[in-house]
Amino acid sequence: MHEYALAVDIIENVLSVADQNQARYVNSITLGLGKLTHVNCDQMQFCLETLIIDTIAREADLIFNEIYPNMECECGFSEKGGYFCASDASMNDIRAFFDQSCPVCGKVLHASGGRDLVIQSIDIEQ
Amino acid sequence: MLMHVINIGHDVLKANDKIAEKNNRLLEKNAVLAVNIMGAIGSGKTTLIEKAIIELGDKYRIAVIAGDVIADMDAGRIAKLGVTTIPVNTGRECHLDAKLVGKALKSIDLKDIDILLIENVGNLICPVDYKLGEHLRVVVVSVTEGDDIVLKHPFIFKSSDVAIIHKKDIAEAVFASTQKMEHDVRELNPNIPVMTTSIHDKTSMEQWFSTISSFADKLKQSC
């Protein structure tokens, strides 16, 4: 979907922070990727790899951290979303956070958070 | 050689939300109801907007932001009805974002407007992640997209305030069941009104018009 535009925003931001800190190289870029965004991790990686060519971040490792939503219930139950993901990878998409029943009271759980796409940190060489 | 880690914490998607909040404040200040109309290509978004302008244009002052990837056909169609129409080309993007809408708002005299209809780019996926500052999110699908279109795009139905199943008059010809589509929306989001419409069914179109006008009236009273 809109990975390219988001990747442009990310790299612009990374390079501007690197510049403010007199970086010669960016060694790594760490991103947090919410499970409930529609961002495809592989496509994002491809776009970022393309955009860092010819920049001081060209050698940077791209590190992705998945951010799970919290699954919450009116009854007070709360658990990290990863708990509800099946070990079968085919169901580990966005649908894993739909219509999950509360293990305590049986009501439908609400997914809170997990909509982030955040540049968590960069590792630079000055 | 000095190496160090800089914590950034900049959220690229939330940056859009912040601009959307700014747009919303500007709209509220001028008591303008903003409706974000999302739906697939060919679902009938432009036609529903045209019909709303014709019906509601006497009572409300309407402006339109018409989003398209490249082209201004939709904007041209709408402008013929005599309302302020701002075409927004997203270039290579598959959705409108808050920044584009914020820029378009600058060319509209909001004091002279009651309702702003925003036609999003034809797409059921990308607009979900992008708030524009709207008060009402409307998703439009038509029977011609197949009656499993709702279940294929659950998130847009979960994040919308109104769902429209359009072109019901030709459902039989395309082997689609409007009952199934309506049922699927209710399963995904039991809290939103679902309308099954056709431009040839006056009653169903009146439902669409009264949805817009009731929200516009409510906003006027609260501002």
Q: How far is B65 from chain A (nearest CA, A)?
A: 21
* Ranges of chain B whose pLDDT falls below 70: 1
DSSP state of A112: E
Contact between chains at B3 and A123 (C-beta distance less than 8 A): yes
Residue B195's SS3 state is: strand
In tens, the pLDDT along A2-40 reads 888 899 999 999 999 999 999 999 999 999 999 888 888
Judge whether residue A90 has pLDDT over 90: no
Q: Would the ipTM clear 0.85, i.e. be above it?
A: no
- Transcribe B58-72 into DSSP letters: TTS-EEEEEEESS--
**Least CB-CB distance to A2: which of B1, B10, B94?**
B94
The pLDDT value recorded for residue A12 is 96
CATH classification at residue B26: 3.40.50.300
The answer to whether A34 and A113 are in contact (CB under 8 A) is yes
The pLDDT value recorded for residue B129 is 86
Contact between chains at A117 and B12 (C-beta distance less than 8 A): yes
Q: How many domains does chain B have?
A: 1
Q: Is residue B3 part of a domain?
A: no
**Least CB-CB distance to B155: which of A94, A124, A126?**
A94
The pLDDT value recorded for residue A96 is 75
Q: Is residue B83 part of a domain?
A: yes
Q: How far is B4 from chain A (nearest CA, A)?
A: 5
* Single-letter residue type at A92: N
Mean predicted confidence (pLDDT) in A108-126: 92
Chain A contact for B18, CB < 8 A? no
CATH architecture of A3-68+114-125: 2-Layer Sandwich (3.30)
Q: What residues does each domain of chain A span?
A: 3-68+114-125, 70-112
Q: Which of B150, B149, B133, B164 is nearest to B48 (CA)?
A: B164
Q: Which residue would you say has higher pLDDT here, B204 or A86?
A: B204
* Single-letter residue type at A54: D
The residue ranges of DSSP E strands in chain B, in sequence order, are: 3-11, 33-39, 62-68, 84-89, 115-119, 136-142, 162-166, 194-196
Q: Choosing among B4, B6, B189, B191, which should be mutated to test the A contact, i.e. which has the most A CBs within 10 A?
A: B6
The answer to whether B133 and B34 are in contact (CB under 8 A) is yes
Q: Is residue B1 part of a domain?
A: no
Contact between chains at B129 and A38 (C-beta distance less than 8 A): yes
Contact between chains at B8 and A117 (C-beta distance less than 8 A): no
Contact between chains at B8 and A115 (C-beta distance less than 8 A): no
In tens, the pLDDT along A41-81 reads 899 999 999 999 999 999 999 999 999 999 999 999 998 88
